[in-house]
């Protein structure tokens, strides 16, 4: 949205036109098999693909948070992420790297030692009490996600007193704490698929304008999730068309960044929505 920007390594990234973040999982068990990369060649292939297809970031994760996944040891995640970030930064220094982790040590190594530019934390700082102070010290943008009331079991369905009000209050309180601790650039991620029913996911998608008053960029991550393929009776492999439909809805409702597996399709959705807005 107009006026929003991110400080990426000392340079402002304009978000007046939405951006696309390409997913790169350096794991062996992410829910969408085609998003898994491990070797140097495959990592560089994916980074080049993201750039050529219109992506503005690569989001690298070394520990799957899919339903039922076993968390890998911190040392394993650190090694995976550090290797991938170093590969990308060495070959494509112009491509900003986001690191998808809830562990402060992984974030520290990825940013300070390897050159990552953003920390993307699915737990909102709840699974590692050092995460927020670490991000503040590193001085990088932080993706604050809503994962429900049970961060230790992020996919467990939760009861809410007032669904949308509870999420809005969560972000309001977290943002206040983040700013008090010195975190300056924050993106909010509503957490589609985390601690929410199918209906709640869709209610949330249609309610993204609610978060405009928080004055933070909104990141929407719906790519190939259960809210797509389960509704359509298909599978993650068959969920591109449904994902694109949801990405368009997210953009129309105010999303500033789309986190996706399929960068070209998302970048085309951005162009179409921007033309639609221009000609309304």
Dist. CA 15–CA 32, nearest whole Å: 28
CB 148 within 8 A of CB 190: no
Q: Output the CA–CA distances (angstroms, integers) from residue 9 to 91, 117, 125, in the order listed.
A: 17, 6, 22
Residue 213 has what DSSP assignment? G
Residue 224 has what DSSP assignment? T
Q: Output the CA–CA distances (angstroms, integers) from residue 15 to 3, 57, 183, in the order listed.
A: 7, 13, 19
All residues at 6 or more sequence positions from 225 whose CB lies less than 8 Å from its CB, including other chains = 192, 193, 236, 239, 243
Respond yes or no: is residue 112 known to be catalytic. Answer: no
Burial of 7 (0-12, 13-18, 19+ CB in 10 A): middle
Instruction: Identify the residue whose tokens are 């304008």.
Output: 209
Q: Active-site residue among 19, 130, 225, 280?
A: 225
- Encoding tokens for residue 253? 């409702």
Q: Active-site residue among 89, 174, 196, 259?
A: 259
CB 7 within 8 A of CB 185: yes
From the list 78, 101, 84, 94, the residue with the least C-alpha distance to 44 is: 84
Respond yes or no: is residue 225 known to be catalytic. Answer: yes
Q: Which active-site residues does the annotation give?
A: 225, 259
């Amino acid at each position: 949205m107009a006026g929003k920007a991110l400080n990426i390594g000392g340079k402002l990234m304009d978000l007046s036109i939405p951006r696309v973040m390409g997913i790169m999982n350096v794991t062996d068990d992410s829910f969408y098999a085609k998003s898994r990369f491990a070797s140097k060649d495959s990592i560089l292939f994916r980074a080049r693909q993201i750039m050529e297809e219109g992506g503005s970031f690569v989001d690298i994760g070394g520990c799957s948070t899919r339903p039922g996944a076993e968390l890998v040891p911190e040392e394993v995640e650190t090694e995976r992420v550090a290797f991938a970030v170093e590969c990308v930064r060495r070959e494509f220094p112009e491509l900003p790297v986001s690191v998808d982790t809830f562990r402060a040590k992984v974030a520290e190594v990825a940013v300070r030692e390897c050159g990552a530019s953003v920390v993307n934390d699915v737990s909102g700082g709840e699974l590692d009490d050092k995460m927020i102070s670490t991000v503040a010290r590193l001085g990088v943008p932080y993706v604050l996600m809503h994962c429900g009331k049970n961060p230790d079991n992020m996919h467990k369905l939760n009861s809410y007193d007032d669904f949308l009000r509870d999420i809005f209050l969560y972000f309001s309180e977290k943002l206040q704490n983040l700013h008090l601790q010195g975190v300056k650039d924050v993106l909010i991620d509503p957490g589609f698929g985390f601690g929410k029913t199918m209906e709640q996911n869709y209610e949330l998608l249609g309610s993204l304008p609610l978060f405009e008053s928080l004055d933070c960029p909104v990141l929407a991550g719906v790519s190939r999730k259960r809210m797509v393929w389960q509704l359509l009776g298909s599978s993650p492999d068959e969920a591109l068309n449904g994902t694109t439909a949801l990405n368009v809805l997210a953009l129309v409702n105010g999303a500033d960044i789309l986190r996706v597996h399929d960068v070209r399709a998302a970048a085309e959705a951005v162009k179409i929505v921007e033309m639609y807005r221009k000609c309304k």
